[in-house]
Amino acid sequence: MRILVLGFTGYLGTHVVEGVRALPGALVLGGGRSPAAEYAIDLATVRREELAKTLASAAPDTVINCAGATGGDPVTLAEVNARGPAVLCAALREAAPGARLVHLGSAAEYGPGVPDVRVTESAATRPLAPYGATKLAGTVAVTTAGLDAVVLRVGNPVGPGAPSTGLPGRIAGLLRAAGPDPDAVLPLGDLSAYRDFVDVRDVARAAVLAATAPGPLPSVLNIGGGRAVPVREVVRGLAAKAGFRGRIAENAAGAGGGAGAAGSPGAAGSVRSADVSWQCSDITAAEVHLGWHPTHTLDDALTALWEGGERGVGGEGWDGSDRSDRSDGRERGERGVGRPGGGGGKGDGRP
C-alpha cells in the first residue's frame, strides 16, 4: 500500500509517519515543502493541474493530509486550511479518484460547547474565529468532493514533540527557562477554559486506522480524549513534572492570552481559543467505525512532552487545537517553520 503523508515533517505528521511505517507492506511517501519531501507540494499555492501530475506520479492508495495552519492572518489561514483541501480534492479526482483521503480537521469547527455536553459529529458548526472557520471550509471541501474520504476532527493534541506555538509546548518551554528558581514567576492568562486534550500518538493511530479501514467510513469522526479538562490542570501537571518551585500568576497584568491560553511575553493566546470556554467531543463513533479509543492518559502525554525535551524548529504541518501555530503563522505541520500548511506541514491542538 502506497500512503502519501502531506505535512509529514510536522508535529502530527511525524507521528503519523511513524505509525504508517509500522504497517506491513506499507510504503510511506512524504509530501510537503521540506527539502526532505519526495514530492514537493505546497497546498497553499499549487495549481490543480500541477498537483494532479504530482499525484499521478506518486500513485497513492491513500493520502493522509496533516498539513494546515493554526496561526497567521485570515488570508494565510484560508490559503492553507480552506484552499489547500479544496485543491487537493480536485487533483485527487483527476489523478487518483480511487484513493482514500484522510484529512485532519479540528474540533474548533464546532465553536463554543455547552458545559457537560459532549459534541457529536452531527452537532451544528459555528466557529467564532478565522481558524475554525477556515478549517470548517476545508472539511466541507473534503466531505462534498465525492471521494472515499474521512475528516478526523481532532481535539487538542498534546504529547512528545509538542511545539512551543501551542499551549502545552509553550508552557513546557517557560518552565524549562524558569528552572529551579524558587522566585520565578510565570505570568499567564486565564486558565479556566476546558479543553479536550488527546495524546498525539493516539491521533496518529486514529489516522492510520482510518487509512486502512475496509469499506467506506462516515464523512466526519471526532478524535479526542473524550473528557473536558481545565487548562489549569495541564499547566499544573507540567509544573509538577518540571519540579517548578516558583509561582504561577494566573490572569497576570499584561499577560493577555484569553481563555485557556498562556499569556506572557513569549506566550500569547492561541488564535484558536477565541471565546470558547468549553470544548469536549463525543468519540463514540470513532470506536464504532475504527475500533479506536485513546490508550494514553493526559498524564502519559504530559510526561512524554516533558521528558522529550524541547522540539527544534523545522518541519511542516499542523499542530492541533490550541494546536501548534507556526512562528510564521503556519502550522509546523507536521512540522516546522515556513509554510507548513502547504502540503508539508497543524498542526491541529485545539482546534
Active site (catalytic) residues: 131
The answer to whether 10 and 332 are in contact (CB under 8 A) is yes
Query: Of all residues in the chain, what percent are helix, strand and coil, respectively (each to 5)?
Result: 35, 15, 50
162 grid coordinates: 509538542
Q: How far, CA to CA in Å, does 244 sit from each of 236, 268, 288, 302?
A: 9, 21, 41, 14
β strands within 244-292, DSSP E: 247-250
Angle at 341 between CA 301 and CA 285, to 5 degrees: 50
Number of H helices, E strands in the chain: 10, 13
Question: Which H or E run contains 126?
Answer: none
- State how far the Cα of 207 lies from the Cα of 151, in Å rounded to an integer: 10
